Amino acid sequence: MKIAIEGQRLFRTKKHGMDMVALELINELQKLDHENEYVVFVKPDEDKTTLKSTSNFKIVELGGGPYPTWEQFALPKAAKAEGCDILHCTSNTAPVSPGMPLVTTLHDIIYMESISIFKKGGTWYQKMGNMYRRWNVPKVVKISDKIITVSKFEKTRIGEFFNIPENDNRLVAIYNGVTEHFKKIEDKKELDRVKQLYKLPDNFLFFLGNTDPKKNTPGTLKAFSDYLKKTGDDMYLVMLDYERSELEKILSDIGDKELINRIILTGYVVNTDLPAIYNMCKVFLYPSLRESFGIPMLEAMRCKVPVITSNTSSMPEVSGNAAYIVDPYKPEEITHGIIELLSNKKLREELIEKGYQQSQKFSWKNMAIDVLDLYKEVYKKHNLTK
């Protein structure tokens, strides 16, 4: 069996959620499977240390223009030329004429919903991406031999949206994992290195907000503003790759322009530095409006940090009973959660321990085993019907 894996963005320096999931899948398959052959297709970019070829894993740098033309034309043509039996597209979209059995990882369908940045907010780049997805995904859902999604919630949501019957075994939920370097760090030198590199304060909350409306950045900033007004604490909020001009607009909208003085914008943080930031923060804030999974919650839990998250979509499913749950549409609940986790030592310690135990239930190895089983099922089905 020869499997083509789409990893278009894996050589780019600034990798994000779906890129990291694809990378972890490939890393685990390289450890697990020495029998089958793989060809991983990536677009040329700067970070060529991300993936290494092995005896049965071939890495192919493939040109072919912007994302849509690369995916629709260059990718299926190259996979066919390599003699692949199955094509696995890892990031929500896929060729509408793949020319071979297709496995699609459909992380979510948020871009099909009213909360989507296609409707309101977001950058033009994000809007164009959502337009492409809205055209592509309904077609891909119909032709995929297997559709992998990342939570039971999202499986139900996709099934309902696209009228896929519950007994249709094409749609499968396979949980994401947590990378091993997310853990409690005892090395003070490592913590100091990251603290100095990103100019972090002594006391801070950590929030992975961005311009996507689903991240609830205005609500979270309002909650932080109210927390400071209620307590007068010497506390900061650390955010990652966020533009200052965008932040200033939100602060103006919530009526607290001065809050900018209590927010640290680090710029892009490489994944290997994230564990130290989790370790140093007092509370991790993840009160999103909508998520299909929520890997950062588990990363924080693995680092033994208390988590505030939402009562919506997949977040209760993934966090279990191990996080402080709030209604993300009510900033006052987020504020109360921050106060509770910083003042109630018993609750804090209880959620830290429960969170660590919850995070142990998820692993990339288990994810890769399940995905490999799907490849075998698809291959067997098509070879029996030839």
Per-residue pLDDT of 160-170, as tens digits, reads 999 999 889 99
Predicted local distance difference test score (pLDDT) of residue 121: 52
- Please, which pLDDT band fits residue 117 given cuts at 50, 70 and 90? very low
Q: Is the separation of the CB atoms in 10 and 59 below 8 Å?
A: no
Residue 50 dihedral angles phi and psi, to the nearest 5°? -60, -45
**Distance between alpha carbon 176 and the CA centroid of its chain, in Å?**
9
Predicted local distance difference test score (pLDDT) of residue 243: 87
- 242 and 306, same structural domain? yes
Q: Does position 297 have pLDDT exceeding 80, yes or no?
A: yes
User: Is residue 269 situated within a structural domain?
Assistant: yes
Q: Going edge to edge, which strands form the sheet with 284-286? A: 263-265, 236-239, 204-207, 284-286, 307-310, 324-326
State whether residue 204 is helix, strand or coil: strand
User: Is residue 199 situated within a structural domain?
Assistant: yes
- 215 and 150, same structural domain? no
- 303 and 242, same structural domain? yes
List Cβ neighbours of 315 (8 Å cut-off, separation of 6 or more).
Answer: 286, 288, 291, 294, 297, 309, 323, 325
Q: Whole-number mean pLDDT of the chain?
A: 93
Q: What is the CATH number of the domain that holds 134?
A: 3.40.50.2000
pLDDT in tens, 203-255: 999 999 777 888 999 999 999 999 999 999 999 999 997 889 899 999 999 99
Written as one letter, the residue type at 101 is: P
- 206 and 136, same structural domain? no
Q: Does position 97 have pLDDT exceeding 50, yes or no?
A: yes
- 199 and 135, same structural domain? no
Mean pLDDT on 58-64:
94
Alpha-carbon span 189 to 181, nearest angstrom? 16
Q: How many CA atoms lie within 13 A of 227 on its CB side?
A: 28
| Strand ranges, E, within the chain | 2-6, 37-42, 57-61, 86-89, 102-105, 146-149, 171-173, 204-207, 236-239, 263-265, 284-286, 307-310, 324-326
Alpha-carbon span 98 to 100, nearest angstrom? 5
Predicted local distance difference test score (pLDDT) of residue 127: 67
Predicted local distance difference test score (pLDDT) of residue 118: 44
Is pTM beyond 0.95? Reply is no
Number of separate domains in the chain: 2
List Cβ neighbours of 129 (8 Å cut-off, separation of 6 or more).
Answer: 67, 111
- 32 and 153, same structural domain? yes
- 104 and 133, same structural domain? yes
Q: Which domain holds residue 10?
A: 2-177+364-384
Mean pLDDT on 249-269:
95
User: Is residue 8 situated within a structural domain?
Assistant: yes
